[in-house]
């Protein structure tokens, strides 16, 4: 072939910088017509979009009170809280959307509403803002495009033809009692009058690392107006901290959501027990278990609150085993750590360790009972006014006492429990409790003095989850213990009278677990 016949492939104009842009190439597969006739035909003969306004959401007054708390904390400052954008899973496909928990908490928007939205609390004269506060709140989001627009059928991320109907500004305002504005006005809303506070500018606090476009916009504004970036970053960190601490105590609506998430999770555990006989026959039995729970999570709630741990046999000694690729064998234990996330984004977090064949062996029961006793000790220690860390201390003390009685500690019980000892933690290296809510590890940015050193208060929701993990390769324990991992986890609501186990409907004692499993199999003919 002569050089005159065709250009080499490397010089094809569509492969060069002057040809089709890389950003446009994902559209190559769509084969969408681009004729004016097609566009004109697509723009007409559609029924009007539903225009009725929804009733006010029960969460609206609670979200307003949360915004008021932030307003009281930061008078005179502009508060910027993004929902966050879509996150790419693979090429041009995204993960199922979930807004940042801080945004959802302040707005009441859960599910997959309004990617890219940003909540802005604009400072006003003290006492003249929303609900007598120091700010007016506006939700900036992408108004749904009309059915006569190209976006309706051509935009796979936002177009109604692709993803279904989205709420209009008027509908969101009616639902959440929250003023709205088009996202196109966000830049002005964030940057107007911004600058150094000491010379009359408006200070901005941003919830960072949620939306990089918002980060860039605020940082550019700060650079252009001479704001010290290091000091501004420190102020932003305080906002993240306060938003996290705001969720330490749940209101009545949040507690209802937690109860619903727990109830759906309990049903998921029932579903897992029903499917265990099939899991035994499958080379990836753990995936069968994982799938059974996931089905219930999607049927009853929004999604999983976190990746399910379905760990059978020695896999149960890996604390965050989420590969779930292992066999499920009769005679082994299976540790199921799972939670359903409600449509409001509140999640449960429950763990049970079940005998695959419905009966604990003597050694399995011994270990299970020790963990159960530790959980009960943690529950007994959880009382209003006591330190959060008291739960952990009570639980691990019981574990250490059992390990000592079994002759597993290399030192005396007193030496192990001393701060300079802690030998018992070889078999339980994690904490016993964490706060629970919109995030499975909720309130994680809260100050230590309000979390670990905080005081247990009415309205707090947290887990109690001791465990013992004897790895198959652990030569420090007798062979009969090796390959056994046990964790028991319940979700606890603190009331004025004391702790309430929200997940108490799920059996906990060895005998009750065996009876429960046998009852399910008997009723289904397994």
DSSP secondary structure string for all residues of 391-408: HHHHHHHHHHHHHHHTT-
Residue 189 in this model has a pLDDT that exceeds 60: yes
Model confidence at 27: pLDDT above 80 = no
Instruction: Output 526 or 462, whichever has higher pLDDT.
Output: 462
pLDDT of res. 8: 41
Per-residue pLDDT, 4? 43
Please check whether residue 303 is in contact with residue 343, taking contact to mean a CB–CB distance below 8 angstroms.
no
Cβ-Cβ contacts under 8 Å for 357 (sequence gap 6 or more): 330, 331
Tell whether the model's pLDDT for residue 475 goes beyond 50: yes
**How do 340-341 and 484-487 pair as beta strands?**
unpaired
pLDDT at 111: 75
User: What is the distance between the alpha carbons of residues 231 and 211, in angstroms, rounded to a whole number?
Assistant: 20
Mean pLDDT of 249-259: 97
Residue 84: HSE in the Cβ half-sphere, 13 Å Cα cutoff? 21
pLDDT value at residue 501: 98
Q: What is the overall mean pLDDT for the chain?
A: 92
Per-residue pLDDT at 2: 40
Residue 524 has pLDDT above 60, yes or no: no
pLDDT (average), residues 49-75:
94
Sequence-ordered list of residues with C-beta below 8 angstroms from that of 172, at least 6 positions apart, any chain: 109, 114, 139, 141, 178, 180
Q: Exposed, middle or buried, 89 (CB in 10 Å: 0-12/13-18/19+)?
A: exposed
Which position has the higher pLDDT, 21 or 431?
431
Q: Inform me whether the pLDDT recorded for 16 exceeds 80.
A: no
Q: Is the pLDDT of residue 30 over 80?
A: no
Q: How far apart are CA 386 and CA 372, in angstroms?
A: 22
What's the confidence (pLDDT) of residue 18?
60
Q: What SS3 class is residue 503?
A: coil
Domains of the chain: 60-245 (3.40.350.10), 252-524 (3.90.230.10)
The answer to whether 379 touches 499, Cβ cutoff 8 Å, is yes
pLDDT of 354 over the 90 cut: yes
What is the CA angle 508-350-373, rounded to 5?
Answer: 40
What is the pLDDT at residue 112?
Answer: 67
How confident is the model at residue 460, as a pLDDT? 98
What distance in Å separates the CA atoms of residue 415 and residue 409, rounded to the nearest whole number? 10
Beta bridge pairs of residue 302: none
Which residue has better confidence, 349 or 95? 349
Q: Which of 442, 82, 61, 435 is nearest to 244 (CA)?
A: 442
Residue 241 tokens, joined: 């901290």
> Helix 362-381 to helix 389-405 angle, to the nearest 10 degrees?
150
Position 161 scores a pLDDT of 87
pLDDT of residue 33: 84
> What's phi and psi for 109, nearest 5 deg?
-85, 120
As given in the structure block, the two tokens for residue 89 are 């899973």
Per the model's pLDDT, the better-predicted residue between 52 and 328 turns out to be 328
The rounded distance, in Å, linking the Cα atoms of 349 and 305 is 8
49 within 8 A of 55, measured Cβ to Cβ: no
Highest mean pLDDT among 38-47, 189-198, 466-475: 466-475
pLDDT at 31: 74
Cα distance between residue 190 and residue 429, in whole Å: 45
Helical H runs in 246-301? Answer: 252-281, 285-300
Integer angstrom CA distances of residue 114 from 86, 142, 152, 348, 392: 10, 7, 16, 24, 40
Give the lowest-confidence range in 63-67, 89-93, 132-136, 435-439: 89-93
Tell me the pLDDT band of 29, cut-offs 50, 70 and 90: low
Give the model's pLDDT for residue 523: 53
Question: For residue 412, what pLDDT is reported?
Answer: 97
- Angstrom distance (rounded) from CA 262 to CA 506: 10
How many CB atoms lie under 10 A from the CB of residue 242? 19
Q: How many CB atoms lie within 10 A of CB 392?
A: 19
Distance CA 492, CA 461 (A): 5
pLDDT tens sequence across 277-320: 999 999 999 999 999 999 999 999 999 999 999 999 999 999 99
Determine which of 41-45, 354-358, 385-389, 515-519 has the lowest per-residue pLDDT on average: 41-45
* Closest alpha carbon to 510 in 385, 375, 282, 355: 355
**CA–CA separation, 296 vs 266, rounded Å?**
10
Contact yes or no for 244/445 (Cβ under 8 A): yes
Helix-strand-coil split of the chain, %, nearest 5: 45, 15, 40
């Amino acid at each position: 072939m002569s050089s005159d016949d065709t250009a080499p492939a490397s010089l094809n104009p569509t492969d060069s910088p002057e040809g089709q842009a890389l950003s446009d190439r994902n559209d190559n597969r769509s084969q969408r017509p681009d004729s004016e006739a097609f566009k004109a035909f697509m723009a007409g003969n559609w029924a009007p979009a539903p225009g009725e306004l929804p009733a006010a959401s029960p969460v609206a007054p609670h979200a307003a009170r949360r915004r008021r708390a932030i307003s009281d904390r930061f008078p005179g400052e502009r508060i910027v809280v993004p929902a966050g954008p879509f996150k790419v899973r693979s090429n041009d496909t995204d993960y199922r959307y979930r807004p940042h928990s801080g945004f959802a908490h302040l707005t009441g928007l859960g599910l997959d509403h309004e990617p890219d939205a940003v909540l802005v609390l604009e400072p006003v004269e003290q006492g003249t803002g929303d609900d007598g506060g120091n700010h007016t709140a506006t939700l900036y989001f992408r108004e749904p495009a009309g059915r006569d627009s190209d976006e309706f059928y051509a935009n796979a991320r936002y177009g109604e033809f692709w993803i279904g109907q989205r709420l209009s500004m008027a509908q969101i305002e009616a639902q959440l009692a929250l003023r709205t504005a088009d996202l196109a006005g966000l830049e002005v809303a964030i940057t107007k009058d911004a600058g150094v506070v000491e010379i009359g500018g408006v200070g901005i606090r941003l919830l960072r690392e949620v939306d990089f476009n918002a980060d860039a916009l605020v940082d550019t504004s700060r650079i252009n107006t001479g704001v010290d970036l290091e000091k501004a970053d420190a102020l932003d960190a305080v906002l993240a901290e306060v938003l996290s601490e705001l969720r330490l105590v749940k209101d009545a609506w949040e507690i209802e959501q937690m109860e619903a998430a727990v109830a759906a999770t309990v049903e998921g555990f029932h579903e897992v027990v029903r499917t265990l006989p099939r899991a035994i026959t499958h080379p990836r039995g753990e995936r069968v278990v994982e799938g059974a729970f996931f089905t219930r999570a999607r049927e009853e709630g929004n999604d999983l609150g976190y990746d399910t741990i379905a760990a059978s046999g020695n896999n149960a000694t890996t604390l965050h085993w989420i590969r779930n690729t292992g066999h499920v064998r009769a005679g082994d234990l299976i540790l199921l750590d799972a939670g359903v996330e409600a449509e409001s984004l509140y999640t449960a977090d429950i763990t049970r360790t079940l005998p695959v064949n419905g009966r604990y062996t003597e050694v399995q029961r011994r270990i299970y009972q020790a963990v159960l006793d530790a959980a009960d000790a943690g529950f007994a220690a959880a009382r209003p006014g006591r330190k959060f860390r008291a739960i952990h201390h009570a639980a691990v003390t019981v574990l250490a006492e059992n390990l000592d009685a079994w002759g597993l500690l290399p030192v005396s019980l007193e030496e192990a429990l001393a701060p300079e000892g802690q030998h018992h933690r070889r078999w339980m290296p994690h904490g016993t409790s964490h706060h629970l809510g919109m995030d499975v590890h909720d309130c994680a940015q809260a100050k230590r003095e309000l979390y670990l050193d905080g005081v247990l208060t009415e309205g707090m929701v947290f887990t109690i989850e001791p465990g013992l993990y004897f790895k198959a390769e652990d030569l420090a324990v007798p062979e009969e213990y090796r390959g056994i991992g046990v964790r028991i986890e319940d979700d606890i609501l603190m009331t004025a009278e004391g702790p309430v186990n929200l997940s108490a409907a799920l059996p906990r004692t060895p005998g009750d677990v065996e009876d429960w499993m046998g009852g399910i199999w008997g009723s289904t003919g397994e």
